[in-house]
Amino acid sequence: MSAPTELLNVQIDGVWYQFKKGTRVIEACAQAGKFIPHYCYHPKLSSPGNCRMCLIEMGMPKTGPDRKPELGADGKPVISWIPRPQISCAQDITEGMGVRTDSSLVRECRHGVMEFLLINHPLDCPICDQAGECHLQEYSVEYGTAGSRFLEEKVKKPKRVELGPRVTLDDERCILCSRCIRFMKEIAHDDVLGFASRGSHTYLTAHPGKRLDSNYSLNTVDICPVGALTSTDFRFKMRVWFLKETKSICTSCATGCNTIVGSRENVIYRQTPRENDAVNSAWMCDYGRLNIHYVNSPDRLKFPQVREAQGLANVSWKTALAKAGEELKQFQRNSVAVVASAKMTNEELWLTKKLIDSLGTVYHDVVPRAGQADQLLMSADRNPNTLGAQLFGITSEYPGSKLREMTEKIASGEIRAVVALGEDLTQIGLAESDLKKLTALIVVGILPNETTRNASVLLPACAFSEKRGTMINIKGRLQRLNHATLAPGEARDDWEIIRDLLQQLTGSNGIYLIDDVFKEIAETIPEMTGLSFGRIGDHGVQLVEESEDAQPVAMTV
């Protein structure tokens, strides 16, 4: 059995609380409902105590001649207050400690720190990307004073400095909190940032001969409390208070980092990490967060199409689905193949398995995507839902192991019909000439490619931000995707398309709510028994025990 957690008694603003040993003072105050303003402190980083914004009054138990704490009328220790302010971010609580968070001394200290920080800070809030999310802006209202005694000329520092390919620095806004320096050293393990010069002329820069080009560089923008570090991709694109924020997950690899999708008027402007200690802590990689612009592409597939003598022509959904069903009924059993995607949600994969069973084919698999793991967050499996595809029987323990046989049979003419769900078949070894041999090619996709251009029936689908659904990450955690934007044109949700194809083949009644699809899964799959969309929550549910060695890497074909 583990040893019981030691609790320490701490007085905060006259009220006694108990906290776990090892809790930092600023964290104890937060747990007690007393917010301490801060800049340099970040719960995931070390505490240098250099911004001085978190100053408080602190005291220790008063002891008598026998060195025992003196007790007051309430039986609690009498506090002897230290005659000077103390920082709360770099000190742990101790037994009998006293803290004052809102005394006249504390208020005076905060006013002084805010005045000092604003001495050389430019008054460019109207054009600053951080406006609306700026701690300096917020604290100046809450803890600052209305005026300034500074009459001299402000110190000028470099602007629009390209620290790296994705981060632009406006050094004159920097308040020298060192969060970015500590993140790159402690989390990203790429110690490239530091301070140069001294006094009011100190500035942030990259070390000589180095650039901020880490795949995690944009996390420095997230944790910058002011507008010094900005995302080159997002810079001057949109005011943050106009963005609709939707909780979701990243679909660029099997880690499934928790995210917030920022959108306005059906356009995604940014994707930032959402804290989840069970998945991604408070970080995400640059590759994942910037892999969103294809959703806004003007080339998106918008209307269902069928092949006519002159080529692909727009038709109604009813016509396209009827045509797809008619073609698939001619080529059931082993003359038809289904190429699915491990980027699909569990609900889509569940219905895909039903489609495979109704066709009676043994030729089905997902397309693997292998990359290089970086020992931080990025997984070697670039598909977000390989475990889901395995759980529902779409693929085997080795994703992609059937694709070689399928491509050979397509090239030889043995397989005459293919259902391609979100994948370009030329990426698995098929040439355009092989696609032209197919009598029926039913394609569900979101962007044009060689496969969509050779489709007999083309059905436009939704991107990750346009659908609801669940996925299972590499550690066996079930997580939710949520609607952030609407699909363009007449594009429809993938699960609805697959459901309608099933109806064309079997004539069975369909399911009209994705919640009911998940309910059906939960009633059938033992690992999901008792779960519902609501019970998954914002942070997901662990389906299987985590394993240090569990790293399913997609096979190359």
Q: What is the pLDDT of residues 31-51, one digit of tens each?
A: 999 999 999 999 999 999 989
pLDDT tens digits for range 205-257: 999 999 999 999 999 999 999 999 999 999 999 999 999 999 999 999 999 99
**Structure confidence at residue 3 (pLDDT):** 63
Pick the CATH number of 305-464+487-509 from 2.60.120.40, 3.40.50.740, 1.25.40.80, 3.40.50.1820: 3.40.50.740
Average pLDDT of span 346-352: 97
Indicate if the pLDDT at residue 514 is higher than 60. Answer: yes
CB 288 within 8 A of CB 270: no
**Structure confidence at residue 551 (pLDDT):** 45
Cα-flanking dihedrals φ and ψ of residue 124, to 5°?
-120, 30
**Structure confidence at residue 162 (pLDDT):** 95
**Structure confidence at residue 555 (pLDDT):** 29
On average, the pLDDT of the chain sits at 92
E-assigned strands of 388-539?
417-421, 440-445, 457-460, 469-472, 477-481
The closest alpha carbon to 476, from 395, 417, 391, belongs to 391
CB 105 within 8 A of CB 85: yes
Q: Which residue has the tokens 């889509």?
A: 348
**Structure confidence at residue 137 (pLDDT):** 92
Q: How far apart are CA 160 and CA 511, in angstroms?
A: 53
Q: How far apart are CA 337 and CA 403, in angstroms?
A: 10
List, in sequence order, the alpha helices (H) in 249-316: 286-290
Sheet containing strand 469-472, edge to edge, reads 469-472, 477-481, 541-542
Q: Which residue has the tokens 């810079």?
A: 235
pLDDT confidence tier of residue 2, bands split at 50, 70 and 90: low
**Structure confidence at residue 163 (pLDDT):** 96
Q: How far apart are CA 237 and CA 240, in angstroms?
A: 9
Radius of gyration, alpha carbons of the chain:
29
pLDDT above 90 covers a percentage of the chain that reads 83
CATH fold group of domain 125-135+148-296: Alpha-Beta Plaits (3.30.70)
**Structure confidence at residue 511 (pLDDT):** 86
Domain segments of the chain: what residues? Answer: 7-112, 125-135+148-296, 305-464+487-509
Say which CATH architecture domain 7-112 belongs to. Answer: Roll (3.10)
The closest alpha carbon to 519, from 504, 535, 506, 497, belongs to 535
**Structure confidence at residue 545 (pLDDT):** 66
Predicted TM-score (pTM) of the model is 0.92
**Structure confidence at residue 175 (pLDDT):** 94
Q: What angle do CA 37, 38, 44 make, to 5 degrees?
A: 125
Q: Which residue has the higher pLDDT, 276 or 147?
A: 276
pLDDT tens digits for range 88-133: 999 999 999 999 999 999 999 999 999 999 999 998 899 999 999 9
Q: Which residue has the higher pLDDT, 510 or 375?
A: 375
The closest alpha carbon to 281, from 338, 219, 229, belongs to 219
pLDDT confidence tier of residue 513, bands split at 50, 70 and 90: very high
**Structure confidence at residue 146 (pLDDT):** 76
pLDDT tens digits for range 424-465: 999 999 999 999 999 999 999 999 999 999 999 999 999 999
